[in-house]
Structure 1
Amino acid sequence: MSLEWVELLAYVLFGFKWLAFILACALLLMGLDDLFIDLSYWLRTLWRRLRIYRRNPYADEQRLFEAREQPLAVMVPAWQETGVIGQMARLAASTLDYENYQIFVGTYPNDPATQAEVDEVCQRFHNVHKVVCARPGPTSKADCLNNIIDAILRFEQQARIEFAGFILHDAEDVISPLELRLFNYLLPRKDLIQVPVYPFPPAWHEFTGGHYIDEFAEQHGKDVVVREAMVGQVPSAGVGTCFSRRAIAALLQEKDGIAFDVQSLTEDYEIGMRLAEKGMSGIFARFMVSDPRYATHREHKFGVVARASKVICVREHFPRTFSQAVRQKSRWIIGIVFQGMRSMGWSSRPLLNYFLWRDRRGGITNLIGFLVNLVFLVVLLMWLVGWVVDDAWQFLSLLGGSDLLRWLLICNGILLLNRLFQRFYFVTSYYGLWQGLLSAPRMVWSNVVNFFANIRAIRQVLLEGDPRRVAWDKTDHEFPEIGEPKRIPLGQRLVAMGAISQSDLQAALLAGAGRRIGRELLSRGLITSTQLAKALADQAGAEYSELSPFKLDSGLIARLPARLALRYAVLPMAEEGRTLVLASERALSEVSIGALARQLRRPVSYRIVPQGRVTLGLRYWYVQQAKKDERLERLAQQSSDETLMEAVCRHQVMLGDLVQEMGMLPSTLFAQAMFDFDPLQQSLGEYLKQRGLISSELLEQALQEQKAQQALSWRALEVLP
């Protein structure tokens, strides 16, 4: 090596020495900053354990079940989310221990694939609604949420209800079974409720995906806990966040009807600050469940702490490739650091400013962390060269020759050990010992990811000249529409089955007698109730079964309370092991099946049976009590006559079905209304009229139609000798 190159290298190393000194000073400040949070957390934990929980037991999920279910709205923005929305809705319906909720999925007019999937989901779940945004996508998440809120408010007006909470979720979220019950319990006392977010762990060698679990485990295990305790302000994570009705109303009023800032890349984070400025109460809810059936955690590994891992939380997958992680984190940096500084500035509260500083220091720490890695590599390379090559040039150590630097390095070494321990503890508490050990090498890789995300964010801001321009331009306030689900029409299914001809179907459709096509075809005698039931079962993907409504086991009848039988219009027809098999004349949603299973404390399934069988069975077993209905008793004696049963049953119709068939009340609004209906306290007609869902005139019209159908039904029985 020539002397000129040696001199140049010496100057470079001298520069690295000064860089090491500057970085050591910065690391000391950052380390002391983190140490303050660590000490605050552990002192708070010790105090609560010694002073609070010795006298007061930990809260359990039993108190969540005692709170009456309030209507909740779940908001899910969806741009190119095929293959995800359906899975989320099915998982929510089958696992959520809650019934009174509606899911509103925001789609775009230029995303037909996602719309088609949401249509299919809406067919199966009456509480899922497709919202078509006013503008083509992709717009911002905030813009999609604003469209969803507009649709929710319109649904409220139509259903005559008020949602108590508005919940943020992404399509890929796995929701805790008791999440909605926790929100329901805390509303309306709290205006912003955030539950922890725990990413799913990737393969051990996937450091990009793995560094997310390290950051979220420590952030939602410790940092946000301290923040809430000190300043009472909780940042929204964008998922697993519930806003009270009061909070949404305040946001709408502040922005002239637009709740979320469409120019912000982190609108959820900003809303937490905006609500805090309005004096509204937020809470970071780390609520542990004792029953393992209600926990989303399934990693039973060494080192896992039950009190930390059995909390109600959100689980989801995060990016696993370097480029995707950099893109995602650059959006976070632009939104929190650059846009946050520009739009929110600083608070008048010094302690809150401290936490704002911690939010925004990422623009500095991401650079420092990468440079520390770089200096470490240079030191390591110099040591390796000197160790491997005997006659190599010897340079003074970058980290020696200065007592101040040496003490800085010692202090930083101690603080680094503390950082490694804190991350190891919180990762191990939830994910187990192996993931905790991996958190140390992943910390190095996270510095690399965050550095390049920082560079990308700075480049985008410089190119635009204004961090606010990186987000989408603010749009005019436009109303979206709630789309109707697409499905294969029932009439076409009957034609495909060979039950009717195409000309029969056309004639029935043109008749327009105010009935659904199935009932119209039945009244014309073109199909039998059995054919209709088979077509409905095929449409719903359910099983078909025959049913003799008067020959049911009285022991089974006793196992299904009248309140549930009449509300859901079902009859208990069999038992398969512990599973109670119910009979229904229509498709039951998985939400209803889950609600029945929870209330009966046993598995439930259902089968679709021919028209009128459940209607007669409900009247026979549950309605007639003090006085027997002679017609029902007589029909029960003749129930083996299939021709007679078909003649009677084809005209049996429940009032709830009738008001939907006659177009008086959409099925989605009827399903929502049924949450508060108690059939043992009042009639369905009076209840719907009292709620303002139908007028007295429409109710009288429906009752007259039902009376006319009953007259036709019993006429067949009257001609018997």
Structure 2
Amino acid sequence: MYWVDYLSLYLFALKYVVIVVAIFITVSGFDDLVIDLVYWFRWVWRKFTIYKRHPRADQDLLLSVPEKPLAIMIPAWHETGVIGSMADAAARTLDYENYHIFVGTYPNDPETQRDVDEVCALFPNVHKVVCARPGPTSKADCLNNVLDAITQFEKRANLKFAGFILHDAEDVVSAMELRLFNYLVDRKDLIQVPVYPFERKWYDFVGMHYIDEFTELHAKDVPIREAVVGQVPSAGVGTCFSRRAIETLLIDGDGIAFDTQSLTEDYDIGFRLKEHGLEEIFVRFPVPEQSKSVWQKTKIFGQSFRESNVICVREFFPNKIETAVRQKSRWIIGIVFQGYVTHGWTRDWKLNYFLWRDRKGVLTNFFSFAANLILFQLMLVWLYESFWPEAYRFLSIFEESALLVTLLWINVLLMANRIVQRTIFVSQYYGLFQGLLSLPRMLLGNFINFLANWRAIKQVIQQGNPRRVAWDKTTHDFPSLGEISRARRMIGLILVNQGSLTEPQLKEALLTKPEGMRLGTWLVHSGQITPLQLAKGLAEQAQVGHASIDAYRLAPELLAVIPLDIALHYAVIPIQREGNHLVVATESALSPIALSALRRKLKLDVDFVIAEIGQVTVGLRHCYARYRLADSRETLNAAIAFGRISQSNRDAAWTYYVSRQIMLGEVLQTLGRIDAAAFSAVLLQHASSTLPLGEYLVEHGIISQETLDYAISVQAQIQPSMEDVIARFEHIETADKQLHSHEI
């Protein structure tokens, strides 16, 4: 039969194909083995030398460094509903306060812009950036627009961010990530933490094969790369650049930090910074959320206590083959083709070795897939010969080929090593079950990488130049972390809905409101609503309760729960404590970031209520002021004792005085001399200063002395002194007596 002859010829030719494939796989396998040996030698050496002499660093080291301002950069194209989740998760989980999130949006993406606007209303440290060009452009172009907006914000707030952090909208960050960056950013210029994909269902092999690749890459390969050559490829997320690094990139790019034509601008930056001699580091820093004894009760079999608690970035990766292929083809084009065109080879043979490892994937993806195909074909022939009656017996391709047999045995051993290595590293973080599943997922991974390779090569050929290939954004999922707060409603509309104000009154108030006063403050000062009505409206806006407080009656032991600096910084007064639960009063809603920071700093479960206007301001001046002034209540009591005003008007005079007290910061913001976000950043810097706020603002060039003097004069016009209040009520009582005498 003629097909037997054809098959025999095919198997004969296949033998030489197998030899070529086996040689390349052997070379690649020994290449991987070198990294394995270096890693384990280094692991043993550090375990029995360094860590015997020096204790391992823990989170106390991170907490010992004062918070520096950090900027998080997020590109957002069609990310509706995601930014709010990320900001909410960051506010609730990050053990850090001095950070700002800058979200890059596009003019032709109004849904995402609307979503970011709502988030900005709730989170004062979130800022919307609108890119100059319609999207999608590229991640690098979006980041350049974001960086420009950060520069403008720095000028308004007169601060300089110490670190610039790359994240995607769908990232979930570790609580101590910013603490780690804060600790290292003065000494290192590129800081990268591991990326660990979220688990999906065990049978979702497409989405789960990412955990195999990232785990081994970020637990073994990149740490060895950093140790050997001091160069770290950024992962695009969980990367912090020092200010020196950003300035170097701007100079190097003639004012453009990120290469807009690169599909993997993150990978590109690592080489650019290395060329300029800047320091890069890949950090695996474990910070356990619970003690080892508690962790033992809930751990997954095979997990490592230290390795499963490293500071890292978590996110979902694509779970469809076509999406995974698109994403990986972008990586291949950026790393292999664009990387070679842009950087070529260097004079450092060690760095060239790792460049070879980056680029060999364009070959290994094909050879690995070819090996799978060959194995499949040989299995079909074996099944035919073993189970088909009267089957033909073909000469084995391994007959009389000592070279091929030797290569195959070497490859079997190298493959066994690969399986063991991957199982170890996957198990350390995800448990032994996932470690064992990494073997079948390896086969699917080879297939996806082959398709991605093919697509990448086709795109490069079609464009003629790898730098012309367009950016192809990958859509990710964001994990469900609970419902986030709704968009904040305007206080004027709330007061109208509550019946405290009519629509004509609201319109009139908006037209007549003097400068230096918020709408609610003006409505109380003009007598159109009461302080209680304003407190109820603000409480509904913040979705919390309201209260009327008298700080003079609070117990000293309750006031001592909050230190002076914290009380003044957040403008809060403790009013109730039950066990570990503390309720504080404030005149305006605390942001989620501020509330979380209060809980961390006080180590208590803190909630807040809205107090009537002026009550917290007067309470802070009486209970927490750094510089004591005359006690207004004593002044009032003295006036009553001397008969200037009657006892019956005491409460009315005190309420009038309190409700008209206003803080300097509110005046400056309302006058437009500093915006709310910049003022929040300034307060964090002021917390470590002993200067009064106004003097601090002038000394650091945030406002001029003329501006401060004008703001103080406006404040004096808005808030009367107690002597003014006494004179007012003295005049009212005198007028009443005269009117009463005329009636008699």
Q: Specify the alignment match of 2:490 in structure 1.
A: 489
3-state secondary structure, aligned to 2:582: strand
3-state secondary structure, aligned to 1:550: helix
With over 3 angstroms needed to count, the CA separation of the structure-2 counterparts of 1:693 and 1:557, relative to structure 1, is same
Q: Specify the alignment match of 1:513 in structure 2.
A: 514
Q: Specify the alignment match of 2:466 in structure 1.
A: 467
3-state secondary structure, aligned to 1:463: helix
1:660 and 2:680 equivalent? no
- The CA deviation string for residues 613-632 of structure 1, in whole angstroms up to 9 with x for no partner, is 10111122223886761535
3-state secondary structure, aligned to 1:623: coil
Instruction: State the shift of 1:550 in Å.
Output: 2.5
Instruction: State the shift of 1:145 in Å.
Output: 0.3
Instruction: State the shift of 1:270 in Å.
Output: 0.4
Q: Specify the alignment match of 1:478 in structure 2.
A: none
Map 1:98-497 → 2, pairs under 5 A: 98-292=96-290, 300-471=299-470, 488-497=489-498
Instruction: State the shift of 1:643 in Å.
Output: 4.3
With over 3 angstroms needed to count, the CA separation of the structure-2 counterparts of 1:441 and 1:632, relative to structure 1, is farther
Instruction: State the shift of 1:493 in Å.
Output: 2.2
Work out which of the residue numbers 39, 42, 49 in structure 1 matches 2:40: 42
Distance in 2, Cα, partners of 1:216 & 1:271: 20
Structure 2 contact 661–720 (Cα < 8 Å) conserved:
no
Instruction: State the shift of 1:567 in Å.
Output: 1.4
Distance in 1, Cα, partners of 2:295 & 2:148: 32
With over 3 angstroms needed to count, the CA separation of the structure-2 counterparts of 1:416 and 1:678, relative to structure 1, is closer
Structure 2 contact 101–127 (Cα < 8 Å) conserved:
yes
1:694 and 2:703 equivalent? yes
Q: TM-score, normalised by structure 1?
A: 0.94
Q: Specify the alignment match of 2:94 in structure 1.
A: 96
Unaligned 5+ runs, structure 2: 473-485, 641-646, 734-744
- The two structures, once aligned, show a CA RMSD in angstroms of 2.4
Q: Specify the alignment match of 1:621 in structure 2.
A: 623
Q: Which of 317-326 and 490-499 deviates more?
A: 490-499
With over 3 angstroms needed to count, the CA separation of the structure-2 counterparts of 1:138 and 1:525, relative to structure 1, is same
The AA in structure 2 aligned to 1:579 is H
The AA in structure 2 aligned to 1:572 is P
Instruction: State the shift of 1:684 in Å.
Output: 1.2
1:534 and 2:552 equivalent? no
- The CA deviation string for residues 320-343 of structure 1, in whole angstroms up to 9 with x for no partner, is 111111010000001001111111
Q: Which of 106-115 and 487-496 deviates more?
A: 487-496
- The CA deviation string for residues 621-658 of structure 1, in whole angstroms up to 9 with x for no partner, is 22388676153574799899764454222211111112
Distance in 1, Cα, partners of 2:621 & 2:21: 81
Q: Specify the alignment match of 2:599 in structure 1.
A: 597
3-state secondary structure, aligned to 1:20: helix
The AA in structure 2 aligned to 1:31 is G
With over 3 angstroms needed to count, the CA separation of the structure-2 counterparts of 1:707 and 1:627, relative to structure 1, is closer
Structure 2 contact 68–161 (Cα < 8 Å) conserved:
yes
3-state secondary structure, aligned to 2:720: helix
Instruction: State the shift of 1:217 in Å.
Output: 0.6
Distance in 2, Cα, partners of 1:709 & 1:639: 25
With over 3 angstroms needed to count, the CA separation of the structure-2 counterparts of 1:520 and 1:713, relative to structure 1, is farther
Structure 1 contact 191–281 (Cα < 8 Å) conserved:
yes
Instruction: State the shift of 1:488 in Å.
Output: 3.8
Instruction: State the shift of 1:299 in Å.
Output: 7.6
Instruction: State the shift of 1:292 in Å.
Output: 2.9
1:711 and 2:713 equivalent? no
Structure 2 contact 156–674 (Cα < 8 Å) conserved:
no
Instruction: State the shift of 1:539 in Å.
Output: 2.2
Unaligned 5+ runs, structure 1: 474-484
3-state secondary structure, aligned to 2:236: coil
Distance in 1, Cα, partners of 2:621 & 2:722: 14
3-state secondary structure, aligned to 1:172: coil
Instruction: State the shift of 1:170 in Å.
Output: 0.5
With over 3 angstroms needed to count, the CA separation of the structure-2 counterparts of 1:391 and 1:714, relative to structure 1, is farther
Structure exhibiting the larger radius of gyration computed from Cα positions: 2
Structure 2 contact 288–310 (Cα < 8 Å) conserved:
no
Structure 1 contact 208–445 (Cα < 8 Å) conserved:
yes
Work out which of the residue numbers 628, 650, 657 in structure 2 matches 1:648: 657
With over 3 angstroms needed to count, the CA separation of the structure-2 counterparts of 1:640 and 1:237, relative to structure 1, is farther
The AA in structure 1 aligned to 2:656 is A
- The CA deviation string for residues 436-466 of structure 1, in whole angstroms up to 9 with x for no partner, is 0001111111000100011111111111111
With over 3 angstroms needed to count, the CA separation of the structure-2 counterparts of 1:497 and 1:407, relative to structure 1, is same
Structure 1 contact 183–242 (Cα < 8 Å) conserved:
yes
Sequence identity (%): 52
Q: Which of 213-222 and 508-517 deviates more?
A: 508-517
Structure 1 contact 262–472 (Cα < 8 Å) conserved:
no
With over 3 angstroms needed to count, the CA separation of the structure-2 counterparts of 1:58 and 1:467, relative to structure 1, is same
1:571 and 2:573 equivalent? yes
Instruction: State the shift of 1:542 in Å.
Output: 2.9
3-state secondary structure, aligned to 1:450: helix
Q: Specify the alignment match of 1:480 in structure 2.
A: none
The AA in structure 2 aligned to 1:521 is L
3-state secondary structure, aligned to 1:452: helix
- The CA deviation string for residues 584-631 of structure 1, in whole angstroms up to 9 with x for no partner, is 000111111122112112221111111011011112222388676153
- The CA deviation string for residues 8-35 of structure 1, in whole angstroms up to 9 with x for no partner, is 2222222222221111111110110000
Aligned length: 708
With over 3 angstroms needed to count, the CA separation of the structure-2 counterparts of 1:703 and 1:60, relative to structure 1, is same
Structure 1 contact 198–314 (Cα < 8 Å) conserved:
yes
Distance in 2, Cα, partners of 1:716 & 1:113: 51
3-state secondary structure, aligned to 1:262: coil
Instruction: State the shift of 1:57 in Å.
Output: 0.9
With over 3 angstroms needed to count, the CA separation of the structure-2 counterparts of 1:447 and 1:121, relative to structure 1, is same
Work out which of the residue numbers 574, 579, 583 in structure 2 matches 1:581: 583
The AA in structure 2 aligned to 1:59 is A
3-state secondary structure, aligned to 1:556: helix
With over 3 angstroms needed to count, the CA separation of the structure-2 counterparts of 1:119 and 1:542, relative to structure 1, is farther
Distance in 1, Cα, partners of 2:707 & 2:548: 34
Distance in 2, Cα, partners of 1:624 & 1:103: 32
3-state secondary structure, aligned to 2:96: coil
Instruction: State the shift of 1:91 in Å.
Output: 0.8
Instruction: State the shift of 1:173 in Å.
Output: 0.7
Distance in 2, Cα, partners of 1:603 & 1:75: 30
Structure 1 contact 20–399 (Cα < 8 Å) conserved:
no
Structure 1 contact 658–706 (Cα < 8 Å) conserved:
yes
Instruction: State the shift of 1:92 in Å.
Output: 0.7
3-state secondary structure, aligned to 2:53: coil
- The CA deviation string for residues 286-340 of structure 1, in whole angstroms up to 9 with x for no partner, is 1122453999999820111112111111111111111111010000001001111
Structure 2 contact 615–659 (Cα < 8 Å) conserved:
no
The AA in structure 1 aligned to 2:564 is A
Instruction: State the shift of 1:680 in Å.
Output: 7.5
Distance in 1, Cα, partners of 2:57 & 2:331: 34
3-state secondary structure, aligned to 1:399: coil
- The CA deviation string for residues 676-707 of structure 1, in whole angstroms up to 9 with x for no partner, is 21488221111111121221112112212222
Distance in 2, Cα, partners of 1:626 & 1:620: 8
Map 1:660-679 → 2, pairs under 5 A: 660-678=669-687
1:682 and 2:688 equivalent? no
Structure 1 contact 367–454 (Cα < 8 Å) conserved:
yes
The AA in structure 2 aligned to 1:19 is V
